Amino acid sequence: KAGVTQTPRYLIKTRGQQVTLSCSPISGHRSVSWYQQTPGQGLQFLFEYFSETQRNKGNFPGRFSGRQFSNSRSEMNVSTLELGDSALYLCASSLAWRDTQYFGPGTRLTVL
């Protein structure tokens, strides 16, 4: 069974731009969560989707948004990029809500 895939793997943007990251969960998994990892703040929870509904949200500004499609694929959008948004963005999927999470390789975003 294929694992969680994230695209793109690497991305370079400039301040003020917006970016969309994509995550394809493991086949059959209905829950997708997003995390931001930085050296200073560590791993921080962004949001979680289950059956196209946002079930939970971390403490991030409204510039960070996401959605989940009917096939469970998810996208995350960051608008008006700031230098501090440079990070590894990780997506995780699970079979059911609050189940064991399986992580993708991440998208490394660099904001210049």
Partner 1 sequence: SQQGEEDPQALSIQEGENATMNCSYKTSINNLQWYRQNSGRGLVHLILIRSNEREKHSGRLRVTLDTSKKSSSLLITASRAADTASYFCATDDLVNKFYFGSGTKLNVKP
CA dist., res. 104 & res. 82, Å (int): 24
Closer to partner 1 by CB, 17 or 41: give it: 41
Within 10 angstroms of residue 14's Cβ, the number of other Cβ atoms is 10
CA distance 18 to 77: 7
Contact positions with partner 1 (CB under 8 A) in 34-53: 35, 42-45, 48
Identify the residue among 1, 28, 70, 100 touching partner 1 (CB under 8 A).
Answer: 100
Encoding tokens for residue 111?
A: 């904001």
Cβ contact 97:55 at 8 Å: yes
Smallest distance from partner 1 to CB 16, Å:
26
Chain contacts with partner 1 (rule: CB under 8 A): 4, 33, 35, 42-45, 48, 55-56, 58, 88, 90, 92, 98, 100-106, 108
